[in-house]
Amino acid sequence: MKNNIIDAVMENAEIAIDTLLDDGILKDIPVLGNIVKALQIRDDVANILYAKKLEAFLLSISNSNYEHIELELNDKENLEKIGLDLVFIIDKINNIDKAKWVAQAVINLASKKYNLDTFERLIYAINNFSPTLKSTLDIYYKPRELVNGVGSCYVYDGDHPEELANLGLLTTKYAPTVNNEGVGSVQYKESNLGIQLWYIIENA
């Protein structure tokens, strides 16, 4: 029987954790690997929730085909800080799905779908994203019959689009006119960050 939560969870998921940390793309994020290894030597039942989120993260990473994160020199210097941030984010996120999203964000970084700046912004958005907003996100990013790919709503019709815009997942444009009730309208459009997050969620 395993002596600690991390090893038990990883064995149950059939993840070769040492291989992931030493030979997979996580080797390019050294701080994250060091934290995982530190947790391996602890026998702390309080770590079970973190371990389950870590399991989801590592399992998603293990299913990818990427072994390296190729970045410019300046970005590589920032990657260690981001690795530390990931440790706290995985700990802070409130559901297993978000751990999978974070993993998919790392995978997409490795596949050069975006740069490190966009990756950092995506991690922030994931950390602050309410899963209840997913249906609203679908309205703007899921393939649909909608003229020019644009959605619009009145400001008072709900705050979901506004919440998405506050996370950078939609852009806003306020109309110069008001309706008969004296209420101005706002138009919400796709943003690059929103597109990236939608694909992360769909593919995680």
CA atoms within 13 A on the CB side of 128: 13
Tens digit of each residue's pLDDT, the chain (204 residues)? 333 444 544 454 444 555 555 655 566 666 566 656 555 545 554 466 777 787 788 888 877 776 666 655 556 666 667 777 777 788 888 888 999 999 999 888 888 888 888 998 999 999 999 988 888 888 888 875 443 445 444 333 467 888 999 999 999 887 777 666 656 677 888 999 999 999 999 998
Q: Which of 70, 104, 126 is the last residue of a domain?
A: 126
DSSP 3: S
Amino acid at 197: L
- Phi–psi pair at 183, nearest 5 degrees: -105, 130
Residue 182 near residue 155, CB atoms below 8 Å? no
189 lies in some domain: yes
Look up the pTM and report it. 0.71
Distances (CA, A) of 151 to 86, 147, 157, 174: 33, 8, 13, 13
204 lies in some domain: no
Asked whether residue 146 falls in the same domain as residue 184, the answer is: yes
52 lies in some domain: yes
Q: Which of 126, 151, 167 is the last residue of a domain?
A: 126
β partners of residue 184: 178
DSSP 139-164: HHHS----GGG-EEEEGGG-SHHHHH
Residue 10 near residue 21, CB atoms below 8 Å? no
CA distance 192 to 168: 9
Asked whether residue 149 falls in the same domain as residue 165, the answer is: yes
Asked whether residue 14 falls in the same domain as residue 114, the answer is: yes
Domain extent, residue 54, equals 5-126
Asked whether residue 163 falls in the same domain as residue 69, the answer is: no
161 lies in some domain: yes
Q: Which of 126, 142, 166 is the last residue of a domain?
A: 126
Asked whether residue 63 falls in the same domain as residue 137, the answer is: no
Asked whether residue 27 falls in the same domain as residue 101, the answer is: yes
Q: In what order do the strands lie in the sheet with 170-178?
A: 151-154, 184-190, 170-178
